[in-house]
Amino acid sequence: MKIPLINMSRLGEYGLLFQSEGPLSLDIQGRFWALDLQCREIQGVDELVLGMHSLLLCLSPGADPENIRLQVLQQWRSISSMPPNETIVDIPVIYDGEDLIEIADQKSMTVEDIVRLHTHAEYTVFALGSQPGFPYLGGLDERLAVPRRSEPRVRVEAGSVVIGGTQTGVISRTSPSGWHIIGHTQTELFDINKARPALLSPGDRIRFVTATVDK
């Protein structure tokens, strides 16, 4: 199997960013999951930040960036893509989002069509980022892809289920966002008081299920 190309760029004095370009791919992301694990053993690496088709290495003062770069490239050539976790998390959603009807109109679909497509897929957590516990998910049906809003909302409530571009996710903290809101969930994705604050981890699998409104 052909090994995907990986590029490196320097971020300041102590940052090395490794990236692979191209469309989102579970196979490539699985290689970055494996690379993340391997790089934890490299001396001189203080912190790792996993992203979408990317991995940022934060180096210790005095570390040799060129030596570490060569080690990472060697690991990239030798590793295999990791499969998703066995963990499956069901997230109940009330599909009452402010943008649901607008998206249905844009797609010449009914609201029921949008909900059916969104709940039919199984998603994979590629990475966490943007805000604590926010999952970047792969697996959105291409028929639901929609450009992000031209004017972001200044306040989107935590628990909002959203679509932006070719991805879907759940807002974990009330914040500004340019993603389209299609529903809401009571599932809490991040709780600082828990031993494991983030509900989800890279590689977890997600299913959205239709919830009913309590009366």
Per residue in 29-68, pLDDT (tens digit) is 999 999 999 999 999 999 999 999 999 999 999 999 999 9
- What's the confidence (pLDDT) of residue 212? 78
Tokens matching residue 64: 């040799």
Q: What is the mean pLDDT of residues 92-96?
A: 98
Q: What is the mean pLDDT of residues 114-141?
A: 95
What CATH class is the domain 88-210?
mainly beta
Instruction: Evaluate if residue 215 carries a pLDDT over 80.
Output: no
Instruction: Evaluate if residue 22 carries a pLDDT over 90.
Output: no
What does the DSSP 8-state code read for residue 146? Answer: B
To the question of domain 7-78 being in CATH 2.60.40.740, the answer is no
Q: Give the separation between CA 180 and CA 105, rounded to whole angstroms.
A: 14
3-state DSSP assignment of residue 83: coil
Q: What is the mean pLDDT of residues 84-103?
A: 96
Instruction: Evaluate if residue 145 carries a pLDDT over 90.
Output: yes
The reply to whether 88-210 shares the fold of 7-78 is no
- What's the confidence (pLDDT) of residue 214? 64
Q: Say how many C-beta atoms besides its own lie within 10 A of residue 59's C-beta.
A: 19
Q: Say how many C-beta atoms besides its own lie within 10 A of residue 35's C-beta.
A: 22
CA angle 129, 173, 104 (to 5 degrees): 85
User: Percentages helix, strand, coil for the chain, rounded to the nearest 5?
Assistant: 20, 35, 45
Confidence of residue 211 (pLDDT cuts 50, 70, 90): very high
Q: What is the mean pLDDT of residues 2-18?
A: 92
- What's the confidence (pLDDT) of residue 1? 60
What does the DSSP 8-state code read for residue 204? Answer: -
Confidence of residue 3 (pLDDT cuts 50, 70, 90): confident
The domain segmentation of the chain, as residue ranges, is 7-78, 88-210
Q: What is the radius of gyration, based on Cα positions, of the chain? A: 19
Confidence of residue 98 (pLDDT cuts 50, 70, 90): very high
Confidence of residue 23 (pLDDT cuts 50, 70, 90): confident
Element at 10 (helix H, strand E): strand 7-11
- What's the confidence (pLDDT) of residue 130? 86
Q: CB–CB of 72/16 below 8 Å?
A: yes
Instruction: Evaluate if residue 133 carries a pLDDT over 80.
Output: yes
Per residue in 116-127, pLDDT (tens digit) is 999 999 999 999
Per residue in 78-90, pLDDT (tens digit) is 999 999 999 899 9
Contacts 24+ apart (CB under 8 A), 150-156: 150/178, 151/178, 152/176, 152/177, 152/178, 153/177, 153/178, 156/181
Per residue in 179-208, pLDDT (tens digit) is 999 999 999 999 999 999 999 999 999 999
